[in-house]
A and B are shown apart, each in its own frame.
Chain A
Amino acid sequence: MANNQASKSIVIDYDAIAKQESFKSLVKRKNAFLWSITVFFLAAYLLLPILTSYTTILHQKAFGEVTWVWIYAAGLFIMTWCLCHLYVAKANSFDKEAKAIIAEYENGGGRL
C-alpha cells in the first residue's frame, strides 16, 4: 500500500491540478473564509486588553457583582468553541470539493 501510494505520487501533475478552475475557486473561497474569520477573532480578542487598559467600560457591573469584563471573557470562550465547530463543518465541505477536484484531475487525462 505504502509503495503503491509513493509511486503514484511521482506522477501527480501538480500544475495540471493548480490550473483547474475548480481548484482555483476552492483555494480562493477557502482562504477568504479562513482569513476573514481569523481577522475577526483576533480583533475580538485584542479588543479586550485595549478596552481594559484604556477604558473602564468593562468595569461596570452586568448583574450582581459580575462585571462586564467576565461577560466579555465568557463571550471569547463561547466564540472559540463555536468557531471551532464552524471550522470543522466548513472543512468537511471543502474536503468533499477537494476530492471532486482530484477525481476531475484523474478522469480528465491530466495523468502522465
Chain B
Amino acid sequence: MSPIAIFFFVAIVGLTLIITWWASKRTSSATDFYTAGGGLTGWQNGLAIAGDYLSAASFLGIAGAVALFGFDGFFFSIGYLVAYLVVLYIVAEPLRNLGKFTLADMITARFNNSKVRGTAALSTITIVLFYMIAQLVGAGALIQLLLGIDYWVAVLIVGVMMTTYVLFGGMTATSWVQIIKACLLMLGTVIISFLVLKEFGFSISTMFSEMTTATESGAAYLNPGLKYTNGLDTISMLIALVLGTAGLPHILMRFFTVKDAKTARSSVIWATWIVGIFYVLTIFLGFGAAAFVGKEDIIAANAAGNMAAPLLAEALGGDILFSFVCAVAFATILAVVAGLVLSGASALSHDIYGQIIKKGKITEKEQVFAARIGSITISIVSILLALGAQTLNVAFLVSLAFCIAGSANLPVIIYTIYWKRFNTAGAVTAMLTGLISALVLVAVSPNIWNPVEGKAIFVGEPLIMLTNPALISVPLGFLGGFIGTLLSKETDDAKYREVDVKANTGISVQDVSH
C-alpha cells in the first residue's frame, strides 16, 4: 500500500475517532444514544440520511453494474431515488409525530401490545442482520482487495470500528460519521465525473455516441435488456427498491433524530437532492469505467464489478485519486454498518428488553446500559455470521432485506396511519405474512437454487423464477394485514382518532420525544 493511501485511511479513522470521543461526552441519556437528543438540523440529518443510504453497494455496486450492463445497471439508481417520494409522502411525518426510537414505537402508539412490538422488533432485527452480513462480507472482500490483508482481519477491523462509534458515541457519532462520509463520497464522485466528462470534451452527446462503440455490446449498451431479460423479475425488483426503502429500519430511525415534522421534511429534501445528484453521477462513473478501464480489467479485479469506480479513479487520477476513492469506500462501509448496528440495537434493547421484558419500568441509566449491551450483541452476531459467509454470494441478501422491509414493515406502517378498522391481530399478521412470505419465496428462488453447480447455494430447479419476490410478497403483506384485521372483532375508534390527530397535527410530538 502506498504512503498516500495509508495517509487517507489513517486520516479517516483518526477523524471519526475524534468525533466519537467528542460525541461520547454528549451521550448520557437513551434519547442521546438512539436519536442524538433529537437535535439534528435539517441539512445535518439530510446529509446523514444520504450517508446512511449511499452504501458501498450504491457507490461500488451501481458504478460496476452500469459499467458492465449499461442502462440495466442504472435501474437501481432510479429505484433508490424515487423511493424517497414514498418516504416523504407516506411515512416520514406520521412516523416523526407518533414515534420515539423505533418503528415499533409508532405502531404501539395505536396498539399497546407486546406481541405487536415483539413482531416489529423481530422483523427489524431480521432486516438489519441480512443487510449487515451483506455489507460486512462486501467490506471484507473490498478491504482485502484494497489493502491486501486477510478477509477475516478486514471484517474484524470494520467490526471493531463500527462497534466503537456506536458504543461510545451513539447516534451523535454515527450521524457525524455519516455526514462526513456523505461529503467525502460526493467530493470523490464529482471529481471522477468531472474527469470523465473532460475525456469526452464536456459533451454528453459525444459521451453517448462514443459509448456505442466502447464496449463489446455495441449500441445495445445504451438500452435495457443486457442483464434483465425477465420482465416480471425486473418489475418485481423495482417494486422492492421503491417500497422497501420506506420500511428500512435504519432509514426510519433517522426521522427520530430531528425535533419535529417540519425538520423531518427538510431533511428528506436535502437527502433527495444529494442522493439524486449522486445517482445522476453514477452514469459517468459507469460509462467512464466501461470506456477507460474496460470490461476485462473490471471483471478481473472483481467478478461483480465492484472495483469499477476505484479502477476508474486510478486510470484518470493516478495513485492519489485511487487511494482517496478507496478510503472513501472504506468510510462508506463504516458509516452504513454503524447505522445498522444502532437500528438493530434499538429493536433489541429498547423494544425487546426495555418495553417487553421490563415493561417500560427501566431507569435512564439502565436504558443506556441496555443499549450498549444490545449494540455489542448485534455487532458480535453480525461479525460471526460475516466470517462464516465469506464464500457465499451474498448479493441477494440486500434484495431480501429490501423485500422484507417492503412486505413486512410498509403495510403495517400504512395501515396504522390510514386505516381506522386496523387492529392488533391485523398488525401481527401483516408483519408475519410479509416476513415469512419474503423469506420462503427467496428460499425457493434462483438465488438459492440453480441447476448449474456453483451458480447458487444449492443445485436444483428453483420453484419460482423471481430473484426478488416483492411482486408477490408485498401484496401478501397487505393481504395478510387485511384478513388478520377482519378475523378479529377488536376495534378502537377512539384510539384511532387520537393517532389520526397526532399524526396530522403533530400536537403531542413534544411528549413523545423529549
- A interface residues (Cβ-Cβ under 8 A, vs B): 2, 5-6, 9, 12, 14-15, 17-18, 23, 26-27, 30-31, 34, 37-38, 41-42, 45-46, 48-50, 52-54, 58-59, 63-67, 69-70, 73, 76-77, 79-81, 83-85, 87-88, 91, 95, 98, 101-102
Contacts and interface: CB of A to CB of B under 8 A. Distances in A.
A23 B498 CA distance: 12
B74 to A, nearest CB: 7
Contacts of B212: 65
A5 B511 contact: yes
Given A17-B501, A17-B507, 7 more contacts: A38-B85, A38-B90, A53-B230, A69-B224, A91-B261, A91-B265, A95-B262
A98 B223 contact: no
A63 B269 CA distance: 32
B238 A46 contact: yes
B211 interface: yes
A52 B234 contact: yes
A15 B82 contact: no
Given A17-B507, A49-B238, A73-B78, A65 B89 contact: no
Nearest to A6: B511
Closest CB pairs A-B (n = 8): A53-B231, A18-B497, A5-B510, A14-B498, A64-B205, A52-B224, A65-B208, A98-B505
B494 interface: yes
Nearest to A92: B262
A76 B71 contact: no
Contacts of B501: 14, 17-18, 23
A88 to B, nearest CB: 6
Contacts, number: 150
Nearest to B208: A65
Chain A at the B interface: mostly helix, strand, loop or mixed?
A: helix
A49 B268 CA distance: 26
Interface of B: 71, 74-75, 78-79, 81-82, 84-86, 88-90, 93, 204-205, 208-209, 211-212, 219, 222-225, 228, 230-232, 234-235, 238-239, 242, 261-262, 265-266, 268-269, 272-273, 276, 279-280, 418, 494, 497-498, 500-502, 504-508, 510-511, 514
Contact of B211 (A2, A6, A30, A65): A65
Given A26-B504, A38-B90, A63 B231 contact: no
A45 B501 CA distance: 32
Nearest to B219: A65
Nearest to A84: B272
B209 A34 contact: no
Contact of A81 (B74, B234, B276): B276
A77 B208 contact: no
Contact of B78 (A17, A66, A76): A76
Contacts of B84: 80, 84
Nearest to B260: A95
A84 B85 contact: yes
Given A65-B212, A81-B272, A87-B89, A2 B514 contact: yes
Contact of A98 (B219, B500, B506): B506
A12 B88 contact: no
Contacts of B82: 41, 45, 76, 79-80
A34 to B, nearest CB: 5
Nearest to B512: A9
B454 to A, nearest CB: 28
B223 A59 contact: yes
Nearest to A37: B89
B266 A88 contact: yes
13 contacts: A9-B507, A15-B494, A23-B501, A23-B505, A45-B82, A49-B75, A65-B211, A76-B81, A87-B89, A91-B261, A91-B262, A98-B504, A98-B505
B265 A87 contact: yes
Nearest to B242: A45
A12 B223 contact: no
A70 B223 CA distance: 8
A52 B70 CA distance: 14
A50 B235 contact: yes
